[in-house]
DNA sequence: AACAATAGCGTACACGTGCACACTCAAATT
DNA sequence: AATTTGAGTGTGCACGTGTACGCTATTGTT
């Protein structure tokens, strides 16, 4: 196993993945992609596809995994910025919006497959979003000293709001309108943070009595 | 124009609409439906389809319109229940969850086409959701005497949370888990309501000084 | 050096698709 | 009563699809 062969295989595997990603757009969903199209874009014969994936489904799940990875990188990036000081909510929203702008099609993939027709896809997307939510939950719990259940509800609501805003942002070209959307999203996240903090306090007070 | 003919036409038009709705499911999206399938389900020859819709697209937009109608009926229904007394948030969530249970496929249609590949579909869905949001916004503004902009942000966030919960509910069979989801959603809506009320108060106080 | 494994190719097939076209025949109009 | 309209039919075409099959050529193993 010198690797010359395996290395080449990995290379064309990436070619296929990238070919699929490249064809994704606002007008083109993964499910509308055909095996032949992807193979062609990768410069392969249709039948060679099977040397790497048994199925378009398998390719799709790989893409979802990669998208989840992107999401986790985003979280790390946001944390680094936060460590340098500034409003947590503001920085998080800004970082997320930058993802939308630079990796719109990856995000679209997640949004679409979350409500798609394949149970496996839906489960995979939900899993990735859950990771994301859980990481935020831990952070909130520690940073704001929240009740665990309350922190989860806040994290869940926050992720929902941010993803929805991201979805809206995908259809907005005007930079000014986008900024407006960010501002609104930030305010909504503050609503949630405020409500969560109060409930957490009330619960803690209840326990002491 | 005695109507015997027009009446029959309307009847088979409904047949087509119902056929399409019938074929929608968790595993079957509208975009995956073919003209031939729909026509067959309606008991028509494929080519007869064109006497009623120029396109599958046109049928789809009609379905989205109907879904929007369903949404507005839901709002009315919730209001009637609220008038009889009880927690506004609780009743609203319960009513919405009933819609998910009885009209899951209609709701799925909205969710999917909102992030679909057709700009026209996306616009149509967004329009319907906006109507819904605006109606809620008016209600919140009047009932809670809120600042207009704040009321909109609250309505927008609330609809986002509820729709997301609805989307989750579609994949939950267990009634207990569903109830848990409802409880969580109610709590999240309270977070938002709390935060919105505070901001609105602060704004009003600011104006007086 | 001989052999096995395998990435990639080209051909071929059956299938479902949207849609064009030329019909029929009942309802509506004149 | 004569004519026009239009809802619904059946046939047929060109196209894109997934994938089975047998092949080549290169790498890895013995």
Class of domain A57-208: mainly alpha
Span A42-50, mean pLDDT?
A: 97
Give me the total of CB pairs closer than 8 Å, taking one residue from chain A and one from chain B: 100
pLDDT of residue A120: 97
Strand C CB-contacts below 7 Å: A 5, 8-9, 12, 43-48, 51-52; B 1-6, 34-37, 46-47, 55-56
| A160: nearest CB among B29, B126, B164 | B164
Domain boundaries, chain A: 1-54, 57-208
pLDDT of residue B51: 97
Which stretches of chain A are DSSP H helices?
4-23, 35-42, 56-83, 88-102, 104-114, 119-144, 148-169, 175-208
The 10s digit of each residue's pLDDT in A8-40 is 999 999 999 999 999 999 999 999 999 999 999
Rounded Cα distance between B125 and B111, Å, is 8
Q: Is the ipTM of this complex over 0.90?
A: yes
pLDDT at A163 > cutoff 70:
yes
The 10s digit of each residue's pLDDT in B167-186 is 999 999 999 999 999 999 99
Fold for domain B58-208?
Tetracycline Repressor; domain 2 (1.10.357)
The 10s digit of each residue's pLDDT in A66-75 is 999 999 999 9
| Mutate: best of A160, A183, A189, A196, partner B, most B CBs <10 A | A160
Kindly report the CATH number that applies to the domain delimited by A1-54. Answer: 1.10.10.60
A57 touches B at CB < 8 Å: no
pLDDT of residue A5: 79
Rounded Cα distance between B92 and B90, Å, is 5
CA A164 to chain B, closest CA, distance in angstroms equals: 7
A9 touches B at CB < 8 Å: no
* Closest alpha carbon within chain A to B197: A191
B127 touches A at CB < 8 Å: no
The 10s digit of each residue's pLDDT in B99-111 is 999 999 999 999 9
pLDDT at A1 > cutoff 60:
no
CB under 8 Å to B111, separation ≥6 — which residues? A115, B163, B166, B167
Beta-carbon separation of B192 and A157 below 8 A: yes
pLDDT of residue A79: 95
pLDDT of residue A34: 97
CB under 8 Å to B81, separation ≥6 — which residues? B91, B95
pLDDT < 50: residue spans in chain B: none
pLDDT of residue A208: 63
At A199, the pLDDT band (50, 70, 90 cuts) reads very high
- What is the full DSSP assignment across A88-119? HHHHHHHHHHHHHHHSHHHHHHHHHHHTSS-H
Percent over 90 (pLDDT), chain A: 94
pLDDT of residue A209: 61
Mean of per-residue pLDDT scores for chain B: 96
Rounded Cα distance between B198 and B202, Å, is 6
Beta-carbon separation of B28 and A190 below 8 A: no
pLDDT at A2 > cutoff 60:
no
pLDDT of residue A130: 98
């Amino acid at each position: 196993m010198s690797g010359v062969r395996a290395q080449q295989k990995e290379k064309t595997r990436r070619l296929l993945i990238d070919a699929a990603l490249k064809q994704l757009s606002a007008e083109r969903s993964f499910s509308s992609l055909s095996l032949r199209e992807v193979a062609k874009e990768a410069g392969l014969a249709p039948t060679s596809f099977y040397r790497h994936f048994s199925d378009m489904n398998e390719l799709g799940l790989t893409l979802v995994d990669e998208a989840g990875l992107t999401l986790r990188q985003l979280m790390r990036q946001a944390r680094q910025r936060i460590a340098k000081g500034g409003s947590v909510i503001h920085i998080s929203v800004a970082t997320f919006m930058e993802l939308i702008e630079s990796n719109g099609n990856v995000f679209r993939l997640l949004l679409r497959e979350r409500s798609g027709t394949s149970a496996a896809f839906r489960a995979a997307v939900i899993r990735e979003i859950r990771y994301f939510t859980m990481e935020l939950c831990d952070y909130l719990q520690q940073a704001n000293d929240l009740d665990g259940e309350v922190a989860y509800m806040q994290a869940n609501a926050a992720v929902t709001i941010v993803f929805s805003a991201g979805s809206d942002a995908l259809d907005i070209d005007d930079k000014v309108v986008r900024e407006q959307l960010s501002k609104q999203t930030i305010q909504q996240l503050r609503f949630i943070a405020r409500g969560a903090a109060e409930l957490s306090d009330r619960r803690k007070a209840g326990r002491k009595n």
